[in-house]
């Protein structure tokens, strides 16, 4: 699948649920209204849709959410997609999780064919963790991370950088990740969805964070890339990588290789734009065969926009897009 700007679309992110057991302040409002279950695709429907994308050349799939691992029976989807790895056309199956369910599920993820995962953990301090997630406890996530490591999964820690909240912790986190063999990725807050807080108060440009980190760590440039928006460096002192995702200080759209599917079968061609395609309608149309479904996907890819236009400034009161990250899938 080649979009109008010549970019090959080979990576699909699937938000398997908009629900979550945490309420991170940058991601959700405290009081969220979730989708009625009837609107959500079944796991079999999600598998069929993913199959259509694989048939069109998608070779990497990431299951995300919401919290993907709280969806009932989600392991059956991991297993059916895992069966498509290799000759089935899929090169990689991964997930992004808050880690709370990993003690229970890490072994099954590995058995399904998952080899690396991203775990979101913005702080190593229990009180800060509780404040960021509104009610979460750090321990289940930490235990989950170590369960994943023990199960043979490579772990990358994702941390959203927040002004005055975790900005003094990154040195400690780099050391901790180095000690345990995890890569780390710092993310700038993106203006997605109403969150009952002012994003101007949260936003911390990573350009200044990097300058500060370089006082204590040697960050060697690498050309390592996951095809995504992160710019990676190797921390010479630990040998682990650190990535910076900077949608606001650096536009990463020119190399975008991905589209995002929600749990209702809505395809978003860009995280930062509102245009979408309703694939559920096609999926549930008894008169439409696999070729018709694939044509609907190709028609959507033909509308993939050039890029987002995220801005966080005091004059702009509305988020860039109304939907939350948990809907589109981060």
Q: What are phi and psi of 127, to 5 degrees?
A: -70, -40
Q: How far apart are CA 18 and CA 302, in angstroms?
A: 27
Binding residue for ligand SAM, selected from 17, 98, 101, 266, defined by CB under 6 A: 98
Give the whole-angstrom CA distance, residue 275 versus residue 277.
7
Stretch that binds ligand SAM, among 86-94, 146-154, 186-194, 260-268 (CB under 6 A): 186-194
CA–CA distance, 299 with 319 (Å, rounded to integer): 28
DSSP notation for 218-236:
-EEE-----SSS-EEEEET
Q: Which does 192 bind (CB under 5 to 8 A by kind): ligand SAM, ligand SF4, none?
A: ligand SAM
**CA dihedral of residues 35, 101, 187, 259 (deg, nearest 10):** -50
| CB-closest chain residue to ligand SAM | 330
Q: Which of 17, 94, 97, 141 is the binder for ligand SAM (CB under 6 A)? A: 97
Q: What is the DSSP string of 272-307?
A: T---EEEHHHHHT-TT--HHHHHHHHHHHHTT--S-
Classified as helix, coil or strand, 80 is helix
Region binding ligand SAM by CB under 6 A among candidate stretches 54-62, 64-72, 230-238, 255-263: 64-72
CB 106 within 8 Å of CB 55 = no
Position among 9, 28, 56, 267 found at the interface with ligand SF4 (CB under 6 A): 28
Among 41, 56, 58, 66, binds ligand SF4 (CB under 6 A): 66
Contact (CB, 8 A) for 304 and 5 = yes
Of 1, 12, 13, 23, the residue at the interface with ligand SF4 (CB under 6 A) is 23
What residue has token string 């963790």? 129
State yes or no: residue 184 binds ligand SF4 (CB under 6 A). Answer: no
Q: Is 79 annotated as a binding residue?
A: no
Taking CB under 6 A as the criterion, the residue among 96, 123, 133, 240 binding ligand SAM is 96
Q: Which of residues 114-153 bind ligand SF4 (CB under 6 A)?
A: 120
Phi–psi pair at 23, nearest 5 degrees: -140, 60
Note whether 262 binds ligand SF4 by CB under 6 A.
no
* Closer residue to ligand SF4, CB minimum distance, 120 or 166: 120
- Residues 112, 79 contacting (CB under 8 angstroms): yes
63 binds, among ligand SAM, ligand SF4, none (CB under 5 to 8 A by kind): none
Given candidates 12, 14, 27, 296, which one binds ligand SF4 under the rule CB under 6 A? 27
Does the annotation list 156 as a binding residue? yes
* Binding site members for S-adenosyl-L-methionine: 26, 66, 120, 190
In the complex, the residues that contact ligand SAM under the rule CB under 6 A are 20, 26-27, 64-65, 67, 96-98, 120, 158, 160, 187, 189-190, 192, 325-326, 330
* Binding site feature residues for GTP: 13, 62, 96, 156, 258-260
């Amino acid at each position: 699948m080649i979009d109008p700007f010549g970019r090959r679309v080979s990576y699909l992110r699937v938000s398997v649920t908009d629900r979550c057991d945490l309420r991170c302040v940058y991601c959700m409002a405290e009081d969220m209204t979730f989708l009625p279950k009837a609107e959500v695709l079944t796991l079999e429907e999600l598998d069929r849709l993913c199959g259509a994308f694989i048939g069109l050349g998608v070779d990497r799939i990431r299951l995300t959410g919401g919290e993907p691992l709280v969806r009932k029976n989600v392991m059956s989807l991991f297993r059916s997609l895992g069966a498509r790895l290799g000759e089935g056309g899929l090169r990689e199956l991964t997930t992004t999780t808050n880690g709370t369910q990993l003690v229970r599920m890490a072994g099954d993820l590995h058995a399904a064919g998952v080899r690396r995962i991203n775990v979101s953990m913005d702080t190593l301090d229990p009180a800060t963790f509780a404040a960021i997630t509104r009610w979460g406890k750090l321990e289940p996530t930490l235990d989950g991370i170590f369960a994943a490591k023990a199960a043979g999964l490579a772990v990358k820690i994702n941390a959203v950088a927040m002004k005055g909240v975790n900005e003094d912790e990154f040195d400690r986190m780099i050391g901790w990740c180095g000690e345990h063999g995890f890569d780390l990725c710092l993310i700038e807050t993106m203006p997605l969805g109403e969150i009952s807080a002012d994003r101007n108060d949260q936003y911390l440009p990573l350009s200044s964070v990097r300058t500060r980190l370089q006082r204590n760590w040697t960050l060697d440039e690498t050309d390592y890339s996951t095809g995504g928006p992160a710019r990676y460096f190797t921390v010479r002192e630990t040998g682990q990588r650190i990535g910076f995702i900077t949608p606001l200080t650096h536009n990463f759209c020119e190399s975008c290789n991905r589209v995002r599917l929600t749990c209702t079968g809505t395809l978003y061609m860009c995280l930062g734009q509102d245009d979408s395609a309703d694939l559920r309608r096609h999926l549930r149309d008894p008169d439409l065969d696999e070729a018709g479904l694939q044509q609907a996907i190709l028609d959507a890819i033909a509308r993939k926009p050039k890029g987002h236009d995220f801005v966080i400034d005091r004059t702009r009161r509305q988020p860039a897009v109304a939907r939350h990250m948990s809907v589109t899938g981060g």
